[in-house]
Amino acid sequence: MSWGHACVDVYQGAVAALVPFFVSERAYTYAAASGVVLAASLLSSVVQPLFGALTDKRAVPWLLPVSTLVGGAGVALSGVSGSYPLTLLAVAVSGIGVAAYHPEAARVARRASRGSHTAMGWFSLGGNIGFAVAPLLVSAVMAAGGLRASPLLAVPAVVGAALCAAALRALTTADAVPAATRTTRAAGKDDWASFLRLSGAVVCRSVVFVGLSAFVALHVRQRTGGGELSGTAALFVLYLGGALGTVAGGRLASRHDRVTVVRWSSLLTVPAVAGVVFVPGPLLYLFVALASAGLYVPFSLHITLGQDYLPRRVGTASGVTLGLTVSVGGVASPLIGAVADAASLRTALAPLIALPALGWFLLRTPCRERTPAARPAPHSPYPPRPSASRNGPRGGGRRRTTRLRGWR
């Protein structure tokens, strides 16, 4: 599932990686280039929760390989036609494919991981690897034949569809109790107030990340005086730092309260983004890496927190937290592009500095943290693993309690 996630998220990173080539080969303005990012993000933002609601009602595992192929096909066709509307249509189709993939993939990954934060961190890491590889893959394809060579970008989709099919087959063989899983999931109570606050923090994080993804390559080229390679390197650092941040987030969540980890990572992201906007020269790459790590430490934690807040609607929670993390920020990208055209790219990116702090503010109310060791049952979609030490060395106290309550 993790490697399949990598193949899918290549296409989320590929759209931003294609922006400099649309600008250079087709003379797109900043606003027009950001419209491409918007086309990939807007429909994805709208339909992703709908796919999440669908997975809450019924399991649709076949959607994983199909959506992977659709996501790849859209990006592969984006460079074939010089028509701007057809380009927008192609990346919009890709966005729908990516949107269809994530809610069901998060549900399947949560089932396979049995609610482990570390395991979900590895699943999220796969997506970050896909992001990191995207600019390198796009640059290699563009060097081979420019935008006309974009059909070569369909290769990861074919590989990803095969990986998803293999993972589903292995999971079906290992665990054939989806009905029991749904019964256990429905036992919890949905906490919509906490989920809405979390969603606000996810939106803030998304706007910063997508804004940087769309324009950091052009921004670095301006600030360092380098060519296309310098911009590609910056995008690669942005995505690679996210991979490291995702692993760190899973590890930190196993030792500390998840909300505390999310809040502090948001706060520390503020100076990192400020460095990206204002620091010139090669040192800029360091701040790109720090901003990326800070933005990605909460990535898998947003997913598991959302699923714990809405245990009756795990698919919906996954569609919002996993989908909005990447897609809804694209809605703000045309505004960033318009400001960049009117003033400068640095001026347009400056407001992104404040958004991580707003995310910290939204999560300041302490949330009820439920870890497998402390409070396993109500809000975990899966039964806890057996523990010999939970009821004492012999478990006698537990048995006496249950008899007093009249259980057989």
**Position 319 pLDDT exceeds 80:** no
**Position 333 pLDDT exceeds 90:** no
Contact 327, 41 (CB under 8 A): yes
Give Cβ neighbours of residue 61 (< 8 Å, ≥ 6 apart): 104, 108, 168
Instruction: State the pLDDT at residue 352.
Output: 93
Instruction: Pick the range with the lowest mean pLDDT from 62-66, 74-78, 306-310, 354-358.
Output: 306-310
The crossing angle, in degrees rounded to 10, of helices 228-253 and 284-296 is: 40
Q: For residue 206, what are the domain limits?
A: 2-170+187-362
- Report the b/e string of 295-310 with b at 16+ CB within 10 A: bbbbbbbbbbbbbbbb
DSSP 150: G
pLDDT tens digit sequence for 81-134: 888 899 999 999 998 898 888 888 888 887 777 767 677 778 878 887 887 788
Task: Please state, in angstroms and rounded to a whole number, the distance separating the CA atoms of residues 12 and 334.
Answer: 17
The tokens describing 231, both together, are: 């911009």
Q: What is the CATH number of the domain that holds 150?
A: 1.20.1250.20
Long-range pairs, 259-265, Cβ under 8 A, ≥24: 259/305, 259/363, 259/366, 259/367, 259/369, 261/297, 261/298, 261/301, 262/201, 262/297, 262/298, 262/301, 262/302, 262/305, 262/363, 263/360, 263/363, 263/364, 265/294, 265/295, 265/297, 265/298
370 within domain boundaries: no
Mean pLDDT of the chain: 79
Contact 320, 49 (CB under 8 A): yes
pLDDT tens digit sequence for 243-291: 778 778 878 877 888 888 888 898 999 999 999 999 988 899 999 999 9
Task: Please state, in angstroms and rounded to a whole number, the distance separating the CA atoms of residues 28 and 134.
Answer: 21
Please give the average per-residue pLDDT across 359-371, as a whole number: 59
143 within domain boundaries: yes
404 within domain boundaries: no
DSSP 326: H
197 within domain boundaries: yes
105 within domain boundaries: yes
pLDDT band (50, 70, 90) for residue 175: low
Q: Is 227 helix (H, G, I), strand (E, B) or coil?
A: coil
User: What does the radius of gyration of the chain's CA atoms come to, in whole angstroms?
Assistant: 22
342 within domain boundaries: yes
Q: What's the pTM?
A: 0.65
Instruction: Pick the range with the lowest mean pLDDT from 174-178, 322-326, 388-392.
Output: 388-392
Tell me how many domains the chain contains.
Answer: 1
Number of other CB atoms surrounding residue 31 within 10 Å: 18
96 within domain boundaries: yes
389 within domain boundaries: no
pLDDT tens digit sequence for 344-359: 889 999 999 999 988 8
